């Protein structure tokens, strides 16, 4: 079982807020995270249980009387009727740490939360395992910032550099905990009974949720079975709760078309044409992927500047394993040498930086820069004082020109801080006074 960076944040929130909500895609380990942090007297209930779901929807007050606090409620989006009843209890009791909630669908969750629990709930986002968590650095990892101080602190934690094959194996396999815990005797998940979780908690093991004593070493077959089942479950359980999808085959094609465009500028018309759907449907379906936590739309920075900047968001698939499965790369080696090698590496680097913020309970201010002359900076991190530019490269010998566009950010109204080129150097190497090449293994 991997320790998660958010465990520290959960413990802090428990002392300061009456309600905690953990959101994220299915199977990223939301329930297991809370089980790591829970005290012995905390009760648990999942709304994947149809009887419990019906009770929560039809009589939320009785439901909460039946399950005493402190309480974990899993997949709370199935019963938004609970939020008003929870509000009454927390306002009456005035205690912190009363309710821990998890949910996989932000679309439903946010509407109920903002109406009923504003000011009473802390919301944190969980994705799959981060590189730092896999490397047993969860307790030390901090939000990425390409400063010399961050580089020095992180370098001290790194045991050995990561070679290209190891990184692409991680990219190809993906970050879902179950794929890294294959072989555990009793895998647990997010309480959805899908049989693809990890650890030893609620609701998993076999598809009936009963658990399994079968030793199942990781293999390519197991990976494909996991992702095929994940996609089928996702469509059947989550997508249909948000939008009315009548053509599963078309939606599957849509998922593949979106995955093939990771690391690229978003173009609804191109996606719609490839899948043979209209522009409106493509936009609606993409919003489903975003609210489900499967993709991230990185916005361009164009405030208070000329019209010569691109204003289209850039699309990133947040789990590179699922992205690789949907685009049908059979092995990590074929992915590394194939046409998507560069964009999937960029996707991995970006998602790791995003996790470093979300898994520390922080809200990142991320943008990219591109002008009409095609001059681009892959990622900008904005703080109150400066922009910090980052470039992603598949190279072990970055040229000094790799950061040549960083100075373009000076016209955006803030100083430009220390920049980074994230790549396959074995150790951090200064490229100039203001830019350092950072190994991907530092993320």
Alpha carbon 170 to chain centroid distance?
15
pLDDT of residue 194: 36
Beta strands in 194-246 (DSSP E): none
Cα dihedral across residues 275, 279, 284, 290: positive or negative: positive
How far is 377 from 370, CA to CA, in rounded Å?
Answer: 7
- DSSP code at position 77: G
**Partner residues linked to 119 by β-bridges:** none
Q: What is the widest separation between alpha-carbon atoms in the chain? A: 65
Strand order in the sheet with 366-370: 366-370, 376-382, 387-392, 419-423, 435-439, 429-430
Total domains present in the chain: 1
With respect to residue 402, please indicate whether it lies within any of the assigned structural domains.
Answer: no
Per the DSSP assignment, residues forming a β-bridge with 416 are 387
Separation of alpha carbons 68 and 79, rounded Å:
17
Compute CA 122 distance to the chain's CA centroid, rounded to the nearest angstrom. 18
- Helix/strand/coil for 71: strand
Whether 411 is in a domain gets the answer no
Q: Residue length, the chain?
A: 443
Please say if the pLDDT value at position 284 is more than 50.
yes
CA 63 to chain centre: 31
In a domain, residue 227? The reply is no
Starting from the edge strand earliest in sequence, which strands make up the sheet with 71-74, in order?
43-46, 71-74, 99-103, 19-23, 121-125
Task: Quote the pTM value.
Answer: 0.88
* Close Cβ partners of 370 (under 8 Å, ≥ 6 residues apart): 300, 309, 310, 376, 377
Nearest to 418 by CA among 141, 149, 174: 149
Q: Is residue 375 part of a domain?
A: no
Q: How far is CA 249 from the centre of its chain?
A: 25
Mean pLDDT value of segment 199-210: 34
**Calpha distance 106→115 (Å, rounded):** 14
3-state percent breakdown (helix, strand, coil) of the chain, nearest 5 = 40, 15, 40
Instruction: Give me the CATH number covering residue 92.
Output: 3.40.50.300
Round to whole Å and give the CA distance between 424 and 231: 32
Best mean pLDDT range from 1-5, 29-33, 243-247, 371-375: 29-33
pLDDT band for position 220 (cuts 50, 70, 90): low
Domain assignment of residue 121, given as a range: 6-131
Half-sphere exposure of 278 (CA within 13 A, CB side): 2
Has residue 34 been placed in a domain?
A: yes
**Is residue 150 in some structural domain?**
no
Contact present, 103 and 75 (Cβ < 8 Å): yes
Q: Specify the pLDDT at position 138.
A: 85
Confidence at residue 185, expressed as pLDDT on a 0 to 100 scale: 35
Say how far apart CA 144 and CA 150 lie, in whole Å. 7
34-60 pLDDT, tens digit per residue, is: 988 888 889 999 998 999 999 999 999
Rounded CA separation 43/52 (Å):
14
The predicted pLDDT at position 111 comes to: 66
Confidence label for 304 from pLDDT (cuts 50, 70 and 90)? low
| Burial group, residue 331, by CB count within 10 angstroms (0-12, 13-18, 19+) | middle
Please report whether residue 73 resides in a domain.
Answer: yes
Q: In the predicted model, is pLDDT for residue 206 greater than 70?
A: no
For the beta carbon of residue 366, count every other beta carbon within 10 angstroms: 18
Which is higher by pLDDT, 239 or 335?
335
**3-class state of residue 336 by DSSP:** helix
Is 85 within 8 Å of 108 (Cβ atoms)?
A: no
Q: Is residue 109 part of a domain?
A: yes
pLDDT of residue 404: 84
pLDDT band at 329 (very low <50, low <70, confident <90, very high): very high
Compute CA 231 distance to the chain's CA centroid, rounded to the nearest angstrom. Answer: 16
Would you say 126 and 30 are in contact if contact means Cβ atoms under 8 Å apart?
Answer: yes
């Amino acid at each position: 079982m991997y320790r998660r960076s958010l465990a520290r944040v959960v413990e802090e929130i428990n002392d300061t807020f009456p309600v905690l909500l953990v959101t994220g895609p299915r199977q990223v380990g939301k329930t297991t995270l809370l089980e790591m942090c829970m005290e012995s007297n905390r009760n648990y209930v999942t709304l994947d249980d149809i009887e419990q779901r019906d009770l929560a929807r039809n009589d939320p007050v009785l439901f909460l009387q039946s399950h005493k606090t402190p309480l974990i409620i899993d997949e709370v989006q199935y019963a938004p009727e609970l939020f008003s009843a929870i509000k009454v209890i927390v306002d009456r009791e005035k205690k912190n740490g009363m309710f821990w909630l998890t949910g996989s669908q932000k679309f439903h969750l946010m509407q109920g939360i903002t109406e009923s629990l504003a000011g009473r709930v802390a919301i944190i986002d969980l994705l799959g395992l981060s590189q730092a968590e896999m490397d047993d650095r969860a307790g030390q990892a901090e939000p990425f910032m390409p400063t010399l101080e961050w580089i020095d602190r992180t370098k001290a934690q790194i045991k050995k550099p990561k070679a290209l094959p190891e990184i692409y194996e991680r990219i190809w396999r993906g970050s879902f905990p179950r794929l890294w815990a294959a072989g555990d005797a009793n895998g647990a998940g997010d309480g959805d009974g899908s049989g693809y979780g990890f650890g030893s908690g609620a609701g998993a093991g076999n598809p009936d949720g009963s658990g399994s004593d079968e030793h199942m070493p990781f293999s390519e077959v197991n990976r494909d079975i996991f992702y095929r089942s994940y996609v089928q479950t996702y469509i059947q359980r989550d997508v249909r709760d948000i939008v009315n999808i009548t053509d599963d085959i078309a939606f599957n094609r849509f998922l593949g078309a979106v995955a093939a465009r990771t690391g690229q500028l978003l173009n609804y018309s191109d996606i719609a044409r490839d899948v043979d759907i209209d522009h409106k449907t493509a936009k609606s379906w993409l919003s489903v992927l975003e609210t489900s936590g499967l993709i991230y739309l990185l916005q361009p920075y164009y405030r208070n500047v000329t019209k010569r900047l691109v204003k289209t968001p850039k699309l990133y698939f947040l789990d590179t394993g699922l992205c690789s499965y949907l685009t049908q790369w059979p092995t990590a080696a074929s992915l590394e040498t194939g046409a998507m090698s560069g964009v999937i590496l960029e996707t991995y680097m970006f998602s790791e930086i995003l996790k470093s913020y979300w898994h520390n309970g922080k809200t990142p201010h991320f943008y990219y820069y591109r002008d009409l002359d095609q001059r681009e900076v892959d990622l900008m991190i904005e703080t109150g004082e400066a922009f910090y530019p980052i470039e992603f490269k598949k190279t072990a010998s970055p040229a000094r020109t790799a950061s040549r566009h960083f100075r373009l950010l000076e016209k955006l109204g803030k100083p430009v801080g220390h920049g980074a080129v994230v790549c396959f150097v074995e150790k951090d190497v200064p490229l100039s006074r203001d830019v350092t090449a950072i190994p991907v293994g530092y993320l």
